[in-house]
Amino acid sequence: MSGVVALLADPGVPTCHEAGARPEVLCHLNAAVAGLEDASPDLCRLGAAFAVIASMVPWSKRPHVGPDAERFAAGHANAIIMGPRGAEVRDDIVLGVSLMAPHIRYPDHSHPPDELYLVLSEGEWRQGDGTWMRPGIGGTVRNPPGAVHAMRAGARPLLAVWALRPAFAG
């Protein structure tokens, strides 16, 4: 985590993005942030700060095929705060947020960069064929490079901040 903090000490280049279509899953953001009321003051401030900028950051959806593809498309979105296509352009780190509606499962996937999540709501994570784990609000999840992983929301929306270093970053 200290490596992420060190990278963020140097600001990137702010950019303007045209307002895109508002993902339908954003209707769950307030409920996800409300779950932070009993968390630490720092986590509560982080959730509130993201709620303020949520309409100003570019959102995207992960493509998925399969029997639940339509439900998954409507029930998730990722916001890029910092990164090559983020609200702050930089090429050394990607800092984003994932929001998922209740009972949505993010499909198994893998990628070359190491990835770190800061969990802001209840949810479950799994690596490979392992068991699902619940890191809890304020918990962290690390996915090593190339590890197959997934996450899923339970009865409440899932909100998590994540960071990874792009493959082309030193």
Q: Domain spans of the chain?
A: 2-8+22-164
Q: What is the pLDDT along the chain (170 residues), one digit of tens a residue?
A: 456 666 556 666 555 555 556 899 999 999 999 989 989 999 999 999 999 999 889 999 988 877 788 999 999 999 999 998 888 999 999 999 999 999 999 999 999 999 999 999 999 999 999 999 999 999 999 999 999 999 999 999 999 999 998 765 54
Q: What are the residues whose beta carbons fall under 8 Å from the beta carbon of 83, sequence distance 6 or more? A: 89, 90, 91, 93, 94, 95, 96, 166
User: H/E element holding 46?
Assistant: helix 41-53
Backbone angles phi, psi at 118, to 5 degrees: -110, 115
- Looking at domain 2-8+22-164, its CATH architecture is Sandwich (2.60)
Q: Say how many CA atoms lie within 13 Å of 120 toward its Cβ.
A: 29
CB atoms inside a 10 Å sphere around CB 162:
18
